[in-house]
Amino acid sequence: MATTHPTPLTQLISVEEYLNTTYRPDVDYVDGEIEERNLGEFDHGDLQATISGMLRDRREDWGVRVVVETRTRVSPTRYRIPDVCVLSAALERERIITHPPLLCVEVLSPRDTLKAMRKRVQDFLDMGVKTVWIFDPATRIAHVCTASGMTEHKRGTLRVEGTKIRLSIEEAFATLDE
């Protein structure tokens, strides 16, 4: 049975200990170390809920599953927790995601930086995720990350190549004006 972890976050732990421990809030696991995630304030949570809802609304048409804050094994010694994850509905349901999602979405929190986010993004890309979207509620800019680089978008529709997945930037950020 999982329990709340009393060990200091700087101590190296095994994958097994990480997977059998409850962290509140949940944390990333990187090569034996626990990495706390910057949790959002209202705008982060509102934007995350809006994006996941917009994607979930089309899940049947697109043949996908959409989950939030789910442990994702990006390598044997690394587990990340993307804000939103879009998976092919054809994949077997897993307690912990081990197959590359079609899309991972991150929403920046006030203390997040794009530079620090690049490490997370690279882990997703190394896993085989083709596209990662990063939304910044402060600047209202969406970044599209692929193996070929990162592009910045202030308006328009984001798409995941080879899928039906798409999302209006303006519609997503509109929640911040409500």
- Structure confidence by residue, pLDDT tens digits, 89-135: 999 999 999 999 999 999 999 888 888 899 999 999 999 999 999 99
Amino acid 11: pLDDT? 76
Q: In a 10 Å sphere around its CB, with 0-12 CB exposed, 13-18 middle and 19+ buried, how is residue 15 labelled?
A: middle
pTM attached to this predicted model: 0.90
Q: Is the predicted pLDDT of residue 5 greater than 90, yes or no?
A: no
Amino acid 10: pLDDT? 59
Architecture label for domain 38-177: Alpha-Beta Complex (3.90)
Amino acid 1: pLDDT? 39
12 close to 30: Cβ distance less than 8 angstroms:
no
92 close to 112: Cβ distance less than 8 angstroms:
no
Q: Is the predicted pLDDT of residue 9 greater than 80, yes or no?
A: no
Q: In a 10 Å sphere around its CB, with 0-12 CB exposed, 13-18 middle and 19+ buried, how is residue 158 labelled?
A: buried
Q: Which residue has the higher pLDDT, 8 or 10?
A: 10
- Give the domain ranges of the chain: 1-36, 38-177
